[in-house]
Amino acid sequence: MNYVKNIDELTVIRNDLKRQNKKVVFTNGVFDILHAGHVDYITKAKEKGDVLIVGVNSDSSVRRIKGELRPVVPQHERAFIISSLKPVDYVVIFEEDTPQEIINKLIPDVLVKGADWSIEKIVGREIVEANGGKVETIKFVNDQSTTNIIKTVLERFKK
């Protein structure tokens, strides 16, 4: 079964979930080189509701945000990997730099980001709260990052 959907498919699914009174959680990220921090974060996001939808930045979006050398892993592979994680119900790839348009269409019950974001700066906060939803942050449990993994690999290959 393919859990990677486009926004139109997800909108239909979201409407059905709303009729079923399912609590929908949304989070997003680049998820370039998957690591334990990503899995911990996604697992904790799922605990906030019944259904977890993860937005994955497209390759062009990642290049604009992280620079021309990123992503390392192409968008469809990143989406497939994320969709294969047990806590994840659906994945959507988005082209924009932020997931604002997806959040506007899905209006999740819970919007989640890492604790490195202040709630006031979380994209989509206004529409989620205006519709009775909650915005929450999740504390990172380790210092893992794709950038640090890339630095480690490069340093080791220099030797």
**What pLDDT is recorded for position 81?**
96
- Is there a domain that residue 1 lies in? no
The boundaries of the domain holding residue 105 are: 7-158
pTM assigned to the model: 0.92
**What pLDDT is recorded for position 145?**
77
- Is there a domain that residue 69 lies in? yes
Q: Please answer whether residues 62 and 85 qualify as being in contact, where contact means their C-beta atoms are separated by less than 8 angstroms.
A: no
Rounded CA-CA distance 97/65 in Å is: 7
Q: How far, CA to CA in Å, does 55 sit from each of 120, 130, 148?
A: 20, 21, 22
- As given in the structure block, the two tokens for residue 119 are 């709630």
Bridge partners (DSSP) listed for residue 55 = 28, 92
- Is there a domain that residue 138 lies in? yes
- Is there a domain that residue 13 lies in? yes
- Is there a domain that residue 107 lies in? yes
> How many residues are listed for the chain in this entry?
159
- Is there a domain that residue 67 lies in? yes
How do residues 104-116 score in pLDDT, each as one tens digit?
999 999 999 998 8
For residue 30, what is the domain's CATH number?
A: 3.40.50.620
**What pLDDT is recorded for position 74?**
97
**What pLDDT is recorded for position 143?**
67
Per the structure, the count of domains in the chain is 1
**What pLDDT is recorded for position 149?**
78
- Is there a domain that residue 2 lies in? no
**Would you call 56 helix, strand, or coil by DSSP?**
strand
Q: Please answer whether residues 24 and 49 qualify as being in contact, where contact means their C-beta atoms are separated by less than 8 angstroms.
A: yes
**What pLDDT is recorded for position 31?**
95
**What pLDDT is recorded for position 78?**
97
- Is there a domain that residue 140 lies in? yes
Using 70 as the pLDDT threshold, list the residues of the chain that sit under it: 1, 142-143, 159
